[in-house]
């Protein structure tokens, strides 16, 4: 991490440098604004402590010179000054500063700021690495596919969660792929060489759930003609995935909680406990908080299972992934017609990825032509006649180019609407859009748009 200390007082730079020295940090120094600008342009520091009152070129001028810098390359800037004026602080933030500190400041506060910045950079590096991996693998993250922002965020959490021993609770609607995520967590964990054992607690009758979970000894109940080890013992050393945990009978929840707390399994019909070492991943589509309120799910079990919580977005919230997934489910010698693409994008997907996969498999098996049509998918009746026409300009483009074109056209329309509503006032339009004025100005330049009226 590169940290620039831009202050005309040598003693101040020395004190900050001593306080912020650390492994993996490079401290850069500038004694005036011009030198600070030169270092920022040549060495691209990640964090800048910028004194406002400097010779040759003051801090506000430095900020003004950096306004044209692309957001992705803009360093985090903390302004330092002896002036505690609120209006000055607001002006600095408007010009691109991240924070504002008044001299004299607490050295520990500086250390907290640097630690926060390091954490942000580390997270950004992980996200960038995942994006690169997804780009190189065609959107594949192990056995999961997705290039949308919600899925990229989820992949980052999976990657970080896999390295821990904490239990994981996966939440999401039916058909979103919760078991795939559980398997990916296992494959990326230190337990990958051991067994991954999955059990759907809703698929087992209530009188057999305890036996399936904890095992039983021979003769424990009628029909128990031989001993059974249960999924906890089978997964010893590895990972146990308990699907539909919200449907677990209340009588079993107490025993499960005890196993999670003590790491000891007691088979049905036995008085002896058996120690197990299992990482538990659970999943549900139910509202567990409401189940706790309704007294059908134990709150202490909920908190024991929820070491880390991952939420899988429904397919309707990751539309960029629909065609990516559809093509991955389709044989390489087949393709979708333009009408089929429009129908896929217009559908709401109540059954999520599972519904999409089954729909594609059925269409591929029954479709008679080389191209899969909306009728083959069973979506022709639900497709408005205007929908196909609205997507038509993009349908013959490569997916990545089509996505960029759709995004650009939407941004152009959204910005144009905001400017029209605000009579061309850029500041007001930026507030309406929920972005900074500088970001809107940069977007206007990128899109080649010029508002009819200024806001000066």
Give the pTM.
Answer: 0.57
Buried b (16+ CB within 10 A) or exposed e, 158-168: bbebbeeeebb
Ranges in the chain, pLDDT < 70:
68-73, 84-87, 89, 123-124, 126-138, 332, 380-400, 450-456
**26 burial via Cβ count (<10 Å: 0-12, 13-18, 19+):** exposed
- Write the pLDDT tens digit of every residue in 165-181: 999 999 999 999 999 99
- The per-residue pLDDT for 455 is 43
Any idea which architecture 316-396 has in CATH? Orthogonal Bundle (1.10)
Write the DSSP assignment of 53-95 as a string of letters: S-SSS-HHHHHHHHTTS-GGGPPEEEEEES---HHHHHHHHHT
Q: Is it true that domain 2-105 has CATH number 3.40.630.30?
A: no
- The fold of the 400-447 domain, in CATH, is Arc Repressor Mutant, subunit A (1.10.10)
CATH of domain 167-313: 3.40.50.300
- Write the pLDDT tens digit of every residue in 134-162: 556 567 788 898 888 899 899 999 999 99
Q: Going by C-beta distance under 8 Å and a sequence separation of 6 or more, which residues neighbour residue 42?
A: none
- The per-residue pLDDT for 411 is 83
Fold: same for 2-105 and 167-313: yes
Domain assignments of the chain as residue spans, ordered by start: 2-105, 167-313, 316-396, 400-447
- The per-residue pLDDT for 391 is 63
User: Distance between CA atoms of 165 and 321, rounded to whole angstroms?
Assistant: 30
């Amino acid at each position: 991490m590169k940290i620039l200390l831009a202050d005309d007082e040598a003693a101040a730079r020395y004190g900050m440098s001593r306080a912020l020295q650390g492994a993996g940090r490079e401290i850069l120094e500038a004694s005036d604004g011009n030198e600070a600008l030169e270092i920022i342009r040549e060495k691209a520091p990640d964090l800048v402590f910028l004194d406002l009152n400097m010779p040759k070129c003051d801090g506000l001028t430095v900020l003004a010179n950096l306004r044209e810098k692309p957001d992705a390359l803009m360093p985090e800037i903390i302004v330092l000054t002896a002036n505690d004026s609120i209006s000055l602080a607001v002006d600095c933030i408007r010009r691109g500063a991240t924070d504002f500190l008044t001299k004299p400041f607490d050295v520990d506060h500086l250390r907290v700021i640097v630690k926060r910045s390091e954490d942000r950079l580390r997270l950004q590096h992980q996200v960038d690495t995942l994006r690169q991996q997804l780009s190189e693998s065609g959107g594949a993250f192990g056995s999961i596919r997705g290039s949308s922002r919600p899925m990229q965020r989820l992949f980052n959490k999976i990657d970080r969660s896999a390295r821990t021993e904490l239990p994981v609770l996966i939440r999401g609607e039916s058909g979103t792929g919760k078991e795939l995520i559980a398997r990916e967590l296992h494959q990326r964990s230190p337990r990958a060489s051991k067994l991954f054992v999955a059990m759907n607690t809703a698929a087992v009758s209530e009188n057999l759930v305890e036996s399936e979970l904890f095992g039983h000894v021979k003769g424990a109940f009628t029909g128990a003609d031989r001993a059974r080890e249960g999924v906890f013992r089978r997964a010893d050393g590895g990972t146990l995935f308990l699907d539909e945990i919200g449907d677990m009978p209340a009588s079993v929840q107490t025993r499960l909680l005890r196993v999670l707390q003590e790491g000891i399994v007691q088979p049905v019909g036995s008085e002896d406990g058996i120690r197990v070492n299992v990482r538990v991943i659970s999943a549900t589509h139910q509202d567990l908080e409401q189940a706790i309120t309704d007294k059908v799910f134990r709150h202490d079990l909920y908190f024991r299972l929820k070491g880390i919580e991952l939420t899988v977005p429904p397919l309707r919230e990751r539309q960029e992934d629909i065609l990516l997934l559809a093509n991955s489910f389709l044989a390489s010698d087949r393709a979708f017609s333009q009408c089929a693409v429009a129908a896929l994008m217009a559908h709401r997907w109540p059954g999520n990825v599972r519904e999409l996969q089954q729909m594609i498999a059925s269409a591929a098996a029954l479709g008679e032509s080389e191209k899969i049509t909306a009728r083959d998918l069973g979506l022709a009746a639900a497709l408005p006649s205007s929908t196909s026409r609205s997507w038509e300009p993009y349908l013959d483009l490569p997916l990545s180019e089509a996505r960029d074109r759709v995004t650009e056209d939407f941004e152009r329309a959204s910005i144009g609407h905001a400017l029209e509503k605000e009579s061309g006032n850029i500041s007001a339009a930026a507030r309406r859009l929920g972005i900074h004025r500088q970001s809107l100005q940069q977007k206007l330049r990128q899109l080649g748009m010029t508002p009819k009226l200024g806001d000066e």
